[in-house]
């Protein structure tokens, strides 16, 4: 029996051969283009935020020191920046020992970073059991938010 070329179904086979040819021509890691180096992403400010201790008894007297340290892109300390601290817990907040207190706002405290880029507040536990989040961001009139960071304290 003789099969004529007009009646042969070469469609799927031809498609496979074409795909393999294209894949072989387009694959390769030897032509990877490396993008040029750019400056620091976002603001370039280093933000170090800690809570010590990060677990408190929900007794109304246990306290945690929340410390913030800010550095410029070159690693030098960022001093004199007003920073806003707030929290969502049922406890209270007061200025940290030796920290520069700028003033209260209805929902938190404004502190200024010292010459070593640091400032702190003290969170005193309430009586509710759960996680308390402390929020920190620069305080400014124009609403600019260079950064916003959080740290959590377990109140139990």
> Hey, is 137 helix, strand or coil?
strand
SS3 sequence, 68-80?
A: EEEECCCCCECCC
Backbone angles phi, psi at 33, to 5 degrees: -100, 125
pLDDT of residue 10: 55
pLDDT of residue 50: 97
- Asked whether 134 and 102 are in contact (CB, 8 A), the reply is no
Per-residue DSSP letters for 62-124? -EEEEEEEEE-TTS-B--S-EEEEEE-SSSEEEEPTT-EEEEEETTEEEEE--TTSEEEEEEE
Q: State pLDDT tens for residues 113-148.
A: 999 999 999 999 999 999 999 999 999 866 666 788
Task: Report the C-alpha gap between 34 and 20 in whole angstroms.
Answer: 27
pLDDT of residue 145: 62
- Topology annotation, domain 46-155: Immunoglobulin-like (2.60.40)
C-alpha triplet 48, 52, 55: angle, nearest 5°: 125
Mean pLDDT score across all residues of the chain: 84
Q: State pLDDT tens for residues 2-37.
A: 555 555 555 666 666 666 665 555 555 667 777 666
CB atoms within 10 A of CB 69: 18
Question: pLDDT tier at 75 (50, 70, 90 boundaries)?
Answer: confident
Q: Please state the pTM of the whole predicted model.
A: 0.71
């Amino acid at each position: 029996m003789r099969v004529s070329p007009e009646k042969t179904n070469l469609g799927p086979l031809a498609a496979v051969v074409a795909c393999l040819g294209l894949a072989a021509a387009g694959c390769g890691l030897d032509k990877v283009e490396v993008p040029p180096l750019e400056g620091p992403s976002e603001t370039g400010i280093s933000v170090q935020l800690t809570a010590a201790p990060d677990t408190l008894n929900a007794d109304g007297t246990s306290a945690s020191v929340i410390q913030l340290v800010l550095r410029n892109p070159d690693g030098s300390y960022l001093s004199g920046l007003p920073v806003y601290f707030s929290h969502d817990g049922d406890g209270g907040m007061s200025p940290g020992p030796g920290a520069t207190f700028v003033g209260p706002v209805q929902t938190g405290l404004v502190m200024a970073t010292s010459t070593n880029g640091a400032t702190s507040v003290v969170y005193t536990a309430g009586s509710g059991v759960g996680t308390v989040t402390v929020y920190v961001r620069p305080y400014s009139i124009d609403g600019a938010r260079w950064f916003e960071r959080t740290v959590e304290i377990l109140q139990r």
